[in-house]
Structure 1
Amino acid sequence: MKRRNSISRSLVAMMACAGLCACATVEDAPRGEAAYVAIPPPPAIGMDYRLSPDDVLRIQIYHEPGLSQEDAQITAAGMVRMPLVGDVPVAGLTAGEAADVIAGRLGERYLVSPQVTVFVKKAVGRRIALDGEVREPGLYPIDGRLTLSQAVLLGKGPTRLAGLGQVVVVRQIEGQRQAARFDLAAIRKGEAPDPEILPGDQVIVGLSRAKAILGGALIAVPALAAGFIALDGDH
């Protein structure tokens, strides 16, 4: 009987966790250790990035320095201008795909098996949204890697009355909008890790501002994070 009761309690706990894993309001977003599980570190930058207008590229044509481009900016129409072949559409492609398209154009009439390499020098399409209790909220481009504390500084830092203990990061993960709360005050003191921020993330300083901005919309809570919430008990 004791074993049956123990199993029953375990099942109830699992069902409760499953409920947390489905969706919740921003107030129920994981925090503490669970926040770092919900908003994981980003993958290496570059391989799957899709080119956007205004991005700046370095285009190298092997053994053809006269055709190579050091600072080729993608136009508003998504084109990059190349010698001999003119405008080549590259927006929406990865750097590797863009290299293949350029090589194909050059190989049609001018070069035999051209070897083309494309590097992203400036990725303007990589942006984050910064909102809440910061001095200058808005959209900010990411040039390289960025941590949460650095992201807040992009907006000239928090306001004097900002709630630093409740900074909400919202991220799209596998088609679902997930959120987590971080303690910026603890991060600044070196008492907590400084999580990395990805392009497309929304950073909102202050829980009350996050609730107002998100309008009480439901968010997904990851299963692993839900386990941390149950152990923490402070939510």
Structure 2
Amino acid sequence: MDITTELIETCGQSKNDWLRTAGIPTLLLCLGLLLIGPGVQSSHAQSATPDRLAPYGPNVTETGQLVLGAGDVVDVTVFNTIELSGRLRVDQEGRVDLPVGGQLEVAGLNSNQAARAIEKRLRDGQIMLDPHVTVQIFQFATQGITLMGEVRAPGTYPLFGPHTLYEALSFAGGPTQNEGSTITITHHSDPTHPLVIQVRSTNYSAVQNSTPVFPGDTIVVAQADFVYVIGDVNAPGAYSIPLGRDLSLLNILALCRGWTVTASASKATIIRKTATGTETIPVDFNQVVKNAAPNLVLQASDVLVMPHSGFKRFLQYALPSATASALSAGVDVAVIK
């Protein structure tokens, strides 16, 4: 069956009757419509976009744009149609209520995708034949980025739009000297998949300047590992291990300002937790300061115990003035040697 016969039978007439009533010009016009009709339908099908488009990643799309979420406010502009334009808020279910067209889900879409979805709704609802829509994000529900942990000024900072990790840390005054080996970024739209950044990586500076953070994100700078000093030292306490550096016995001795006059420096110990239990390592500081014993490197969570000497303590209480001077002189001589 040729195209002409198919077209005529579609109209419900015989070929002779149709030609007498319609004429050659009408026949040519109908043939043209029949030939271009499938192309028009195919083009329209390809231009249609789904109501819901999947975002690329937690906060950012393939083109690097922010995505919409509950509580955000958007400005919708329909070209030359002010009645269909307006400022809309995304509800808790991720939808906006269009002035005409009902509710439309936009959560997870960027501004361009949301505009295309609104255009499709207006076409499908036969509200407009060829709408042109633009969507601009007026306000994010959570404008601030929260910085916690080892930063100089922790808190929530009103950073609008996307920023880099370096910029966010700068707002909080940068990391403290107790900064640990990791920084964790929890994205507002994907809290179950936090991003962990290794501070000790060789390209950390580049990572800082290329890692995006968005409104609503939480950044936690981990605390450095600590070693603990207890017993007869002048400044017992917890001391952080400098990032990327070792902390030796002599280093910790300087930090805790040495041992006291009643300390038994030759009987110090390191208590260390291992996979198999607790290990006790003897330390003779009298030999360490003379470089006659290894200057061991301390590990995270080590506890250095400086015991007291019962004899020295007895002498301190029995002869407080004389003993204190004598013992102080003895310690100085030992350190000098």
Taking structure 1 as the reference length, the TM-score comes to: 0.49
Taking structure 2 as the reference length, the TM-score comes to: 0.36
